[in-house]
């Protein structure tokens, strides 16, 4: 058949004639369809360049936040997407990276220092000073009590083995460097990071 | 006094019949008005009558259920007199005479003529189908659980059957207007003996017979005085 | 595709609307298309998460039913899912076929054809088929209309939802969220022309890698789609978790929504008119004097009979 | 990574083994896909499971977990027997021609010098023969029976195709096919890259698997080449950085090492590490060890560190153990020898093997400090979480502090990705509530301790009191201050040999070449020197231009060392200084100096005629096939069975029980009892990541919880059939150490293997999900894993252990 009529045209043939006239007659024309159905959510957002800190690809991410860092505003991150300039990720992200917003906003984020007293079954909120004072006191007491200046063979060893530390796998080099510096100044040796797991 | 007086003295529809009929009629009209917008955008503005498109979508099925129920009562009430007889076939054969008002040529007619009976049966069928297909595409309750092909079939069926029902309605309403006295019959429930004899001669005979028997029974206790006034 | 602004003049088709949509500017707008190269998909679900994040959707946390798929199906809160299928060919070679399932943005959208609500579904000049919830009445006709079983009706607000191809992003010259996130370049986005060209390249590549039946999925039955697949086995789309071989708008939907309705509408009008003209010509049906007379005779006859002792 | 992510696209063959990049590094994996599409590269996957990477691979071969050395060793044998290795490269750039001391030997699975009682080797015999000038003897013909090449040939001659097939369970034809594809890359213009991750490291023989891969890349001439290298994809975002900065029990920043107790003399400490060349005129860059060390001490202790006090050598702790790694520490904790523990963004309860033991260990602490942005299982180890974690808080006396920290989005700083790029990022918002940056928390703890020592005195306070703290706001050292410190600055004017002024006092150091051992420079991490020179913060650079189309993007961020993107890139050119192939060219000799599309990893003025080797950190200047004394279980990799193996004996040494498992692995007695037997636990299990999740973090994210909501284990169809398990059934997976319950994913993607005449079923156990967060509550996978580690790194053997699967 030579006459090409698509389904919709066919549908219209039957309808349009009747409809157009009658609509006009009934004085009712189609109300305008809203153009872009949703408001564009990035308009006016502050964009911050960052890096995903899950795996070691180190993808570039853009953090979109409300507020322009003016003094009277507390910025609020509300969208995360890939940084197209990044030579490795070129804007793409994996399911973890694409979900970063829910990590930043997770209900499981901790908001204030807490302590669980010996034998207790609950967390107790405390202030930073109390927390840090108590921790420092614990550390000093343990160090003073168990510091090894020398070993049985008379070697000077100046080590502290009874308190240990695990360093983060996602913390910055700056944090890591400061941690290393502090830990070694205390003579701590039971010190490790997540390289193995 | 005489039955010939053309004042409607003959009971055709009881109060209950009439109420029932008009409840069905009104809900049917509402259904048409609320259904047409989904039938074709041409009728979209009708949704305004029901408080907007979404409300129309919500109301239509409920009105439908109500009408179905009402219709059920009516169907039971009118069942016997709607059974098709041989003479009805003959009547239908002569539908030309009917339309041309050559009533003298027509075969005898009982309480309902073949046309009325057809309306009864067509509506009965349509409403049954509308109910079933309607349930199958009812959002948000049942549609979700219905296989897609069946839903498509039901949508199509609902529309088609509704179309048939609407045509039937138009004929039914027109007949009411066309046949003088029948509209009044459904409003006030009474017709004149003459009207009955013209349109439903068999029924007229039945009713006359009833009336005679009635008088016979009552005459035994009649006093001369009141006998004087009886025919 | 910068400049594909979707504005009032870019709505080329509109549900339940018989008047012509503005067409004057069609020429100025490029059709866009999303290409999904299944042979490059690792099923990481980045697109799925990016979609939910961009569109502010948070579905229920489901459960594992013994496969990688999750969520298991499209929902009003999940506009795309990855469908995994472990496929073993005749020689017993194993392939893990993973398909991103979402709205295909048909050139000829069944949903739009079925929708009774004016403007609830629109098709933009760039090819995107979008739901406008503001106008949606929740009748679910779009579900019956869709050949790919995509739209979902919300239990919450009883409105229909589906992938919008990020019309809001495209409007602002960006690519859809899923496209941007895709780590392996399995999902690509561009003008229809570009994407069809790239699709050919990709399937040629697959031919070179020994997939004789590799090809592009761009079904004619719906006049082509604005989401197209590159398949290693284009001859058997069903093995990709039931991708329809020849999708088209169901004839039932056509019959229901097609030409029949206007005709029926006319028929109803005509029926009414016919009645009127019949009345005018044949006149009303009423009983005459003769009936009165007959009744009187009957009265008389009966009276005699009754008065005979 | 010796190379980098984008460079993968330059490869002709990509072999993923001991890694599943599509799953764990999807975005980096993009470059594999690009290589396939635009470099006509092939992707080969060798893995126990047909995984997400295999889904898009050109070829897949199944293998039994933990048998990789056999597979790769067999390939070495194949290369040598068929003369398919890159002879010119091997001769010029490896130690193949060096002659090994006559005392060295290998017999019945054990190398010379083994001490069965201590389970250790005396490595004295693992060395080269030296000539009069104390340089290693060589035989350029490679014929000398004691030369490294011949020793290697003999060592791997046992790894025949049949042996390999029976050890790995891989069908012969598949092994042959993979070997052929790999061998093709011995051509000078073709390269192969190995992409691996914890699938290689988390074995009791992990380090040796990787060594085998390195040997192969040397034999194929793929080191220092574009699209070549041995590429550790690495697990966490900044594990590279933390390792570079030496946050390990025995390290200091820049891979400097802490001394053992018996190393009392500073001079000998330096001499043992400032390694002189073993071959004439080689660079042997570690000979500058003292420059790095002294500069570090100056950065930490300032004026207190002087030549007179050996730069505070005595202030550094001395190790009584080779390592105080996590296994060792938790063992001591379990014995009650540890009182306090600090977890900074780390969740050991879930992360270390044998959860039950970890729980007991933590319960014996006096105090535990958890510094984390999220709720972690570790912080709540004392809380009863029903069947998933059944403890009685009343009986746990550990005092637990939980300190909230900022996350990446709320701080400035750098992380080092596996390409060795230090990338600076910026904070976008404030942390929630009262949360603080880790730096502020460390400062807070330290300054309080310092104050206490000032007020009360106490044990050896000097290092604490003298620790340099030159920060504008002492309570909150800023990231840029710390970055400038690890880059380092000059304390006095620094001159080169020709007395030219190189750096003025107070200026940032331009590179580690300007470091001095006389105390005139301070540098927190020599390896990072040059990241923040006088010009400013190079880590924050964002120029992604790639003028040569090689993907090096030298202007993006900053890579250690000295912004070099491909390590050993001198090896990309022939000994005469011309590239092996223009396709693969990285650097070349232009007549005066080394130039190219990357920063030469070589002295730029060293002419080819001088014949210096490309591996400038090695004493030989060459790639080490023979590891000498660097590895604890021997100079040449040998296959040993996992500590929980699904077969009765090591097929290579069936009659020597000592050679069944890694003879040098450190196992604590009590843990030996916790190894399951083949009879009790017949199924080989391996644990791994899924792409939808990251360890135990993303289960706190709704979006990721939706994508993969509940714990499951993967079981092959055949095994499932045998056990009557259907897809979606709940199963119990038990090991000697405990059990978990999860949903069964029954799959075609795991097939039974024929190993040493026995059918071995493998079970896959993702490590994700726990009893906190948005996902369905679940058991922790490490309930099952064995408490044993690699002999060198002590990395736990998470990848091969025994379990039993039961239907519930």
Average pLDDT rounded to a whole number, residues D626-654 = 97
- Work out the pLDDT band at B218, boundaries 50, 70, 90: confident
Query: Is residue D462 over pLDDT 90?
Result: yes
With an 8 Å Cβ cutoff, are A40 and C168 in contact?
Answer: yes
Residues B195 and C287 sit within 8 Å (Cβ to Cβ): yes
A62 shares its domain with A98: yes
Q: What's the number of domains chain A is made of? A: 3
C155 shares its domain with C88: yes
Query: Is residue C246 over pLDDT 50?
Result: yes
What's residue C18's pLDDT? 83
C15 shares its domain with C113: yes
Select the more confidently predicted residue: C137 or D666: C137
D26 vs C: CB within 8 A: yes
Specify if A54 maps to a domain: yes
Q: Please give the residue of chain C at the shortest CA–CA distance from D773.
A: C61
CA–CA dist D328, D321 (Å, integer)? 9
Q: What is the pTM of this model?
A: 0.93
C65 shares its domain with C149: yes
- Picking from D743, D779, D795, D766, the residue whose alpha carbon sits closest to that of residue D689 is D766
Q: For residue range D165-200, what is the model confidence (pLDDT) as tens digits?
A: 999 999 999 999 999 999 999 999 999 999 999 999
Select the more confidently predicted residue: B127 or B228: B127
Query: Is residue D538 over pLDDT 80?
Result: yes
Query: Is residue A32 over pLDDT 60?
Result: no
Residues D772 and D644 sit within 8 Å (Cβ to Cβ): no
With an 8 Å Cβ cutoff, are B41 and C291 in contact?
Answer: no
Query: In whole angstroms, how far apart are CA D79 and each of B163, D73, D181, D576, D640?
Result: 83, 10, 12, 25, 22
C115 shares its domain with C39: yes
Q: Which residue of C58, C66, C209 is in closest CB contact with D745?
A: C66
Query: Is residue B9 over pLDDT 60?
Result: yes
C258 vs B: CB within 8 A: no
Assigned CATH topology for domain D1-235+565-635: Dimethylsulfoxide Reductase; domain 2 (3.40.228)
Select the more confidently predicted residue: D4 or A32: D4
What's residue A25's pLDDT? 36
CA–CA min distance C60, chain D (Å): 7
What's residue C27's pLDDT? 61
Q: For residue range D516-534, what is the model confidence (pLDDT) as tens digits?
A: 999 999 999 999 999 999 9
D419 vs A: CB within 8 A: yes
Q: For residue range A68-89, what is the model confidence (pLDDT) as tens digits?
A: 888 999 999 999 999 999 999 9
Q: Which of C75, C110, C118, C139 to substitute to test the interface with B, most B CBs within 10 Å?
A: C139
Last residue of a domain, one of C257, C279, C294: C257
A100 shares its domain with A50: yes
pLDDT over 70, % of chain D? 100
What's residue C3's pLDDT? 37
Radius of gyration of chain D (CA): 26
Q: For residue range D285-342, what is the model confidence (pLDDT) as tens digits?
A: 999 999 999 999 999 999 999 999 999 999 999 999 999 999 999 999 999 999 999 9
C49 shares its domain with C197: yes
Select the more confidently predicted residue: D744 or D669: D744
Specify if C3 maps to a domain: no
As a three-state string, the secondary structure of chain A is: CCCCCCHHHHHHHHHHHHHHHHHHHCCCCCCCCCCCCCCCCCCCCEEEEEECCCCCCCCEEEEEEECCCCCCCCCEEEEEEECCCCCCCCCCCCHHHHCHHHHHCCCCECCCCEEECCCCCCCEECCHHHHHHHHHHHHHHHHHHHCEEECCCCCEEEEECCEEEECCCCCCHHHHHHHHHHHHHCCECCEECHHHC
* Touch test B–A: 3 Cβ pairs or more under 8 Å: yes
Specify if C1 maps to a domain: no
Q: Count of residues for chain B? A: 231
- Residue A114 sits at φ, ψ, to 5 deg, of -140, 160
Radius of gyration of chain A (CA): 31
Q: Please give the residue of chain A at the shortest CA–CA distance from D328.
A: A190
Q: Residue D20: CA atoms inside 13 Å, Cβ hemisphere, count?
A: 20
If contacts are CB pairs under 8 Å, which of residues 221-250 in chain C contact chain B? 250
- Work out the pLDDT band at B44, boundaries 50, 70, 90: very high
Phi-psi domain of D773 (left: phi exceeds 0; alpha: psi -120 through 50; beta: other) = left
Specify if A132 maps to a domain: yes
The alpha carbon torsion through D447, D450, D455, D459 (nearest 10 deg) reads 150
Owning domain of residue C268: 260-307
With an 8 Å Cβ cutoff, are A176 and D245 in contact?
Answer: yes
Specify if A152 maps to a domain: yes
- Picking from D604, D603, D567, D563, the residue whose alpha carbon sits closest to that of residue D586 is D567
* Least confident segment among A9-18, A92-101, A105-114, D540-549: A9-18
Average pLDDT rounded to a whole number, residues D666-685 = 94
Q: Which of C256, C261, C277, C306 to substitute to test the interface with B, most B CBs within 10 Å?
A: C256
What's residue A69's pLDDT? 82
Specify if A151 maps to a domain: yes
C16 shares its domain with C146: yes
* Signed CA dihedral, D9, D10, D14, D20: sign only: negative
Residues A158 and D316 sit within 8 Å (Cβ to Cβ): yes
pLDDT over 90, % of chain D? 99
C171 shares its domain with C292: no
What's residue C26's pLDDT? 59
With an 8 Å Cβ cutoff, are C169 and A40 in contact?
Answer: yes
CA–CA dist D202, D210 (Å, integer)? 11
- Work out the pLDDT band at A35, boundaries 50, 70, 90: very low
ipTM: 0.94
Domain of C93, CATH number, reads 3.30.70.20
Owning domain of residue A115: 110-145
CA–CA dist D155, C166 (Å, integer)? 60
What's residue A39's pLDDT? 83
What's residue D4's pLDDT? 97
A151 vs D: CB within 8 A: yes
* Touch test B–D: 3 Cβ pairs or more under 8 Å: no
CA–CA min distance A84, chain D (Å): 10
Specify if A84 maps to a domain: yes
CA–CA dist B49, B33 (Å, integer)? 8
Residues B76 and B88 sit within 8 Å (Cβ to Cβ): no
Q: How many CB atoms lie within 10 A of CB D407?
A: 22
CA–CA dist C241, C239 (Å, integer)? 5
With an 8 Å Cβ cutoff, are A94 and D315 in contact?
Answer: no
Q: For residue range C33-79, what is the model confidence (pLDDT) as tens digits?
A: 999 999 999 999 999 999 999 999 999 999 999 999 999 999 999 99
- Work out the pLDDT band at A7, boundaries 50, 70, 90: very low
- Work out the pLDDT band at C1, boundaries 50, 70, 90: very low
- Work out the pLDDT band at A26, boundaries 50, 70, 90: very low
Query: Is residue C201 over pLDDT 50?
Result: yes
Query: Is residue A20 over pLDDT 80?
Result: no
Query: Is residue A36 over pLDDT 60?
Result: no
Q: Which residue of C153, C255, C256 is in closest CB contact with B144?
A: C153
Chains that touch D (3 or more CB pairs under 8 A): A, C
With an 8 Å Cβ cutoff, are D247 and A180 in contact?
Answer: yes
- Work out the pLDDT band at A28, boundaries 50, 70, 90: very low
Q: Which residue of C49, C94, C184 is in closest CB contact with D748?
A: C94
* Signed CA dihedral, C33, C39, C43, C44: sign only: negative
D241 vs A: CB within 8 A: yes
CA–CA dist D73, D54 (Å, integer)? 23
* Residues of B with catalytic roles: 172
Query: Is residue D707 over pLDDT 90?
Result: yes
Query: Is residue B2 over pLDDT 70?
Result: no
Q: What's the number of domains chain C is made of? A: 2
With an 8 Å Cβ cutoff, are C6 and A102 in contact?
Answer: no
Evaluate whether D1-235+565-635 and D657-807 have a shared fold: no
What's residue D172's pLDDT? 98
Average pLDDT rounded to a whole number, residues A89-100 = 98
A187 shares its domain with A153: yes
As a three-state string, the secondary structure of chain C is: CCCCCCCHHHEEEECCCCCCCCCCCHHHCCCEEEEEEHHHCCCCCHHHHHHHHHCCCCCCCCCCCCCCCCCCCCECCECEEEEEEEEECCCCCEEEEEEEEECCCECCCHHHHHCCCCCCEEEECCCCEEECCCCCCCCCHHHHHCCCCCCEECCCCCCEECCCCCHHHHHCCCCCHHHHHCCCCCEEEEEHHHHHHHHHHHHHHHHHCCCCCCEEECCHHHCCECEEEEECCCCCHHHCCCCCCCCCCCHHHHHHHCCHHHHHHHHHHHHHHHHHHHHHHHCCECCCHHHHHHHHHHHHHHHHHHHCC
C111 shares its domain with C246: yes
Q: Out of 3.20.20.410, 3.40.50.740, 3.30.70.790, 3.40.630.150, select the CATH number for domain D326-456.
A: 3.40.50.740
Q: Are strands A60-66 and A76-82 parallel, antiparallel or unpaired?
A: antiparallel
Where do the domains of chain B lie, and which CATH numbers do they carry? 12-219 (1.20.950.20)
With an 8 Å Cβ cutoff, are C66 and D727 in contact?
Answer: yes
- Work out the pLDDT band at A194, boundaries 50, 70, 90: confident
CA–CA dist D647, D676 (Å, integer)? 12
pLDDT over 90, % of chain A? 72
| DSSP codes, D61-119 | EE--TT-HHHHHHHHHHHHHHTT-S-HHHHHHHBGGGBBBPTT--EETTEETTEETTTT
* Touch test A–D: 3 Cβ pairs or more under 8 Å: yes
What's residue C261's pLDDT? 82
On average, the pLDDT of chain D sits at 97
What's residue B221's pLDDT? 61
What's residue A37's pLDDT? 65
A98 vs C: CB within 8 A: yes
CA–CA min distance D43, chain C (Å): 12
With an 8 Å Cβ cutoff, are A54 and D772 in contact?
Answer: no
CA–CA dist C241, C222 (Å, integer)? 20
Q: D657-807 — its CATH code?
A: 2.40.40.20
CA–CA min distance C263, chain D (Å): 49
Specify if A133 maps to a domain: yes
Query: Is residue B223 over pLDDT 80?
Result: no
CA–CA min distance D781, chain C (Å): 17
Residues A112 and D434 sit within 8 Å (Cβ to Cβ): yes
With an 8 Å Cβ cutoff, are B44 and A22 in contact?
Answer: no
Q: For residue range C213-243, what is the model confidence (pLDDT) as tens digits?
A: 999 999 999 999 999 999 999 999 999 999 9
What's residue D53's pLDDT? 98
Average pLDDT rounded to a whole number, residues D779-786 = 96
Specify if A71 maps to a domain: yes
């Amino acid at each position: 058949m030579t006459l090409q009529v698509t389904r919709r045209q066919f549908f219209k043939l039957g309808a349009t004639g009747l409809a157009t006239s009658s609509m006009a007659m009934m004085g009712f024309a189609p109300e305008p369809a809203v153009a872009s159905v949703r408001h564009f959510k990035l308009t006016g957002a502050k964009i911050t360049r960052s890096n995903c800190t899950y795996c070691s690809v180190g993808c570039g991410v853009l953090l979109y936040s409300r507020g322009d860092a003016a003094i009277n505003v507390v910025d609020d991150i509300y969208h995360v997407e890939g940084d197209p300039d990044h030579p490795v990720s070129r804007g793409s992200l994996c399911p973890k990276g694409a979900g970063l917003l829910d990590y930043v906003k997770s209900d499981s984020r901790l908001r204030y220092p807490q302590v669980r007293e010996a034998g207790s079954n609950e967390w107790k909120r405390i202030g930073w000073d109390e927390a840090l004072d108590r921790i420092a006191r614990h550390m000093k007491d343990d160090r003073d009590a168990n510091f090894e200046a020398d070993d049985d063979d008379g070697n000077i060893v100046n080590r502290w083995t009874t308190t240990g530390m695990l360093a983060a796998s996602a913390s910055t080099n700056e944090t890591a460097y400061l941690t290393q510096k502090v830990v070694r100044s205390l003579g701590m040796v039971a010190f490790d990071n997540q390289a193995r797991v | 006094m005489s039955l010939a007086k053309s004042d409607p003295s003959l009971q055709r529809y009881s109060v209950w019949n009439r109420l029932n009929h008009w409840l069905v009629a009104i809900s049917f009209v509402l259904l048409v008005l609320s259904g047409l917008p989904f039938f074709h955008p041409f009728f979209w503005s009708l949704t305004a009558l029901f408080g907007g498109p979404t409300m129309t979508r919500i109301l239509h099925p409920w009105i439908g259920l109500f009408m179905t129920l009402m219709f059920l009562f009516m169907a039971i009430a009118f069942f016997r007199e709607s059974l098709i007889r041989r003479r009805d076939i003959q009547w239908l054969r002569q539908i030309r005479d009917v339309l041309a008002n050559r009533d003298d040529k027509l075969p005898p007619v009982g309480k309902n003529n073949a046309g009325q009976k057809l309306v009864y049966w067509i509506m009965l069928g349509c409403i049954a189908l509308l109910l079933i297909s309607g349930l199958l595409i009812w959002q948000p309750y049942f549609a979700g659980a219905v296989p897609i092909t069946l839903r498509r079939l039901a949508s199509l069926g609902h529309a088609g059957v509704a179309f048939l029902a609407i045509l039937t309605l138009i004929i039914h309403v027109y007949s009411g207007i066309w046949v003088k006295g029948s509209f009044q019959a459904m409003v006030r429930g009474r017709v004149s003996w003459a009207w009955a004899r013209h349109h439903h001669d068999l029924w007229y005979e039945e009713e006359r017979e009833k009336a005679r028997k009635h008088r016979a029974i009552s005459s035994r206790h009649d006093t001369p005085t009141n006998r004087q006034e009886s025919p | 595709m910068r400049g594909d602004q979707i504005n009032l003049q870019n709505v080329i088709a509109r549900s339940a609307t018989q008047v012509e949509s503005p067409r004057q500017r069609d020429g100025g707008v490029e059709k866009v298309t999303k290409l999904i190269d299944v042979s490059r998909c690792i099923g990481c679900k980045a697109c799925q998460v990016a979609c939910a994040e961009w569109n502010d959707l948070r579905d229920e946390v489901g459960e594992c039913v013994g496969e990688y798929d999750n969520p298991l199906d499209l929902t009003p809160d999940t506009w795309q899912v990855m469908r995994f299928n472990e496929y073993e060919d005749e020689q017993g070679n194993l392939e893990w076929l993973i398909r991103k399932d979402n709205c295909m943005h048909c050139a000829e959208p069944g949903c739009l054809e079925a929708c009774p609500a004016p403007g609830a579904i629109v098709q933009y000049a760039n090819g995107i088929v979008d739901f406008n919830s503001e106008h949606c009445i929740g009748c679910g006709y779009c579900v019956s209309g869709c050949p790919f079983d995509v739209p979902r009706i919300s239990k919450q607000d009883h409105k229909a939802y589906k992938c919008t191809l990020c019309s809001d992003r495209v409007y602002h010259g960006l690519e859809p969220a899923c496209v941007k996130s895709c780590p392996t370049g399995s999902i690509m986005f561009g003008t229809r022309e570009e994407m069809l060209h790239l699709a050919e390249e990709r399937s040629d590549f697959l031919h070179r890698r020994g997939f004789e039946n590799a090809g592009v999925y761009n079904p004619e039955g719906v006049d082509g789609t604005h989401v197209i697949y590159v398949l290693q086995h284009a001859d058997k789309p069903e093995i990709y978790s039931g991708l329809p071989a020849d999708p088209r708008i169901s004839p039932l939907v056509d019959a229901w929504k097609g030409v029949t309705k206007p005709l029926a509408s006319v028929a109803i009008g005509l029926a009414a008119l016919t009645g009127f003209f019949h009345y005018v010509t044949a006149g009303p049906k009423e009983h005459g004097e003769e009936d009165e007379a007959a009744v009187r005779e009957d009265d008389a006859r009966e009276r005699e009979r009754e008065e005979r002792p | 990574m010796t190379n980098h992510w984008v460079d993968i696209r330059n490869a002709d063959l990509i072999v993923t083994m001991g890694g599943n990049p599509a799953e764990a590094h999807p975005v980096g994996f993009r470059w594999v896909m690009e290589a396939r599409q635009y470099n006509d590269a092939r992707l080969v996957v060798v893995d126990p499971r047909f995984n997400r990477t295999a889904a898009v691979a050109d070829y897949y071969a199944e293998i039994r977990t933990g048998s990789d050395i056999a597979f790769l060793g067999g390939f070495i044998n194949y290369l040598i027997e068929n003369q398919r290795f890159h002879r010119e490269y091997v001769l010029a750039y490896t130690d193949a021609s060096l002659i090994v001391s006559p005392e060295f030997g290998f017999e019945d699975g054990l190398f010379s010098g083994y001490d069965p009682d201590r389970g250790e080797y005396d490595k004295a015999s693992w060395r080269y023969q030296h000539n009069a000038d104390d340089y290693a003897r060589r035989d350029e013909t490679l014929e000398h029976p004691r030369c490294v090449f011949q020793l290697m040939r003999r060592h791997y001659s046992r790894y025949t195709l049949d042996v390999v097939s029976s050890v790995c369970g891989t069908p012969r034809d598949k092994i042959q096919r993979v070997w052929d594809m790999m061998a093709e890359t011995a051509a000078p213009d073709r390269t192969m890259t190995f992409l691996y991750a914890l699938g290689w490291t988390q074995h009791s023989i992990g380090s040796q698997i990787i060594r085998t891969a390195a040997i192969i890349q040397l034999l194929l001439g793929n080191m220092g080449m574009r699209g070549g290298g041995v590429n550790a994809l690495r697990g966490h975002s900044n594990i590279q950085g933390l390792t570079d900065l030496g946050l390990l029990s025995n390290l200091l920043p820049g891979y400097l090492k802490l001394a053992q107790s018996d190393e009392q003399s500073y001079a000998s400490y330096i001499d043992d590490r400032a390694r002189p060349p073993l071959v004439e005129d080689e660079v042997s860059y570690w000979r500058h060890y003292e420059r790095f060390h002294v500069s570090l001490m100056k950065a930490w202790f300032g004026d207190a560190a002087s030549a007179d006090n050996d730069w505070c050598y005595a202030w550094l702790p001395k190790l009584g153990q080779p390592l105080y790694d996590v296994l060792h520490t938790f063992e001591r904790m379990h014995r009650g020898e540890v009182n306090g523990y600090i977890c900074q963004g780390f969740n050991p309860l879930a992360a270390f093997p044998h959860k039950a033991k970890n729980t007991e260990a933590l319960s014996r602490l006096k105090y535990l400090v958890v510094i984390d942005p999220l709720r972690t299982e570790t912080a709540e180890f004392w809380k009863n979480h029903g069947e998933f974690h059944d403890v009685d808080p009343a009986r746990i006396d550990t005092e637990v502090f939980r300190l909230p920290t900022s996350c990446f989005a709320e701080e400035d700083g750098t992380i080092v990705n596996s390409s060795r790029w230090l990338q600076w990022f910026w904070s976008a918002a404030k942390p929630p509530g009262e949360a603080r940056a880790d730096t502020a928390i460390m400062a807070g703890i330290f300054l309080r301790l310092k104050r206490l020592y000032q007020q009360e005195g106490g044990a050896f306070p000097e290092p604490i009191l003298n620790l340099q703290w030159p920060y504008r706001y002492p309570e909150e050292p800023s990231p840029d201050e710390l970055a400038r410190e690890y880059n380092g600055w000059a304390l006095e004017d620094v001159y080169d040999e020709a007395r030219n002024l190189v750096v003025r006092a107070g200026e940032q150091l331009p590179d580690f070449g300007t470091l001095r051992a006389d105390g005139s420079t301070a540098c927190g991490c020599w390896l990072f020197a040059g990241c923040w020179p006088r010009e400013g913060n190079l880590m924050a650079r964002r120029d992604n231009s790639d003028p040569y189309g090689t993907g090096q993007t030298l202007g993006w961020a900053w890579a250690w060392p000295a912004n070099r993107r491909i390590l050993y890139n001198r090896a990309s050119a022939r000994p005469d200084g011309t590239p092996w192939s223009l396709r693969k060219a990285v650097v070349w000799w232009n007549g005066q100096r080394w130039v190219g599309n990357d920063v030469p990893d070589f002295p730029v003025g060293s002419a080819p005629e001088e014949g210096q080797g490309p591996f400038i950190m090695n004493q030989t200047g060459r790639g080490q096939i023979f590891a000498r004394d660097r590895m604890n279980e021997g100079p040449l990799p040998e296959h040993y069975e996992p500590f929980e193996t699904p077969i009765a004996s090591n097929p290579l040494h069936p009659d020597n029980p000592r050679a069944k498992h890694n003879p040098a692995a450190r196992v604590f007695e009590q843990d030996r009892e916790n190894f399951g037997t083949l009879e009790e636990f017949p199924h080989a299990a391996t644990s791994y990541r899924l792409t939808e999740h990251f360890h135990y973090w993303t289960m706190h994210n709704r979006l990721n919880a939706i994508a993969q909501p509940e714990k499951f284990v993967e079981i092959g169809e055949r095994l499932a059939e045998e056990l009557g398990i259907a897809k979606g059934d709940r199963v119990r997976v038990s090991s000697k150490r405990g059990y978990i319950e999860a949903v069964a994913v029954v799959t075609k993607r795991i097939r039974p293997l024929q190993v040493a005449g026995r059918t071995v079923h493998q079970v896959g156990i993702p490590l994700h999900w726990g009893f906190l967060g948005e996902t369905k509550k679940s058991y922790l996978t490490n309930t099952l894993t064995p408490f044993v580690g690699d002999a060198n790194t002590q990395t736990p053997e998470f990848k091969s252990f025994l379990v039993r699967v039961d239907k519930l």
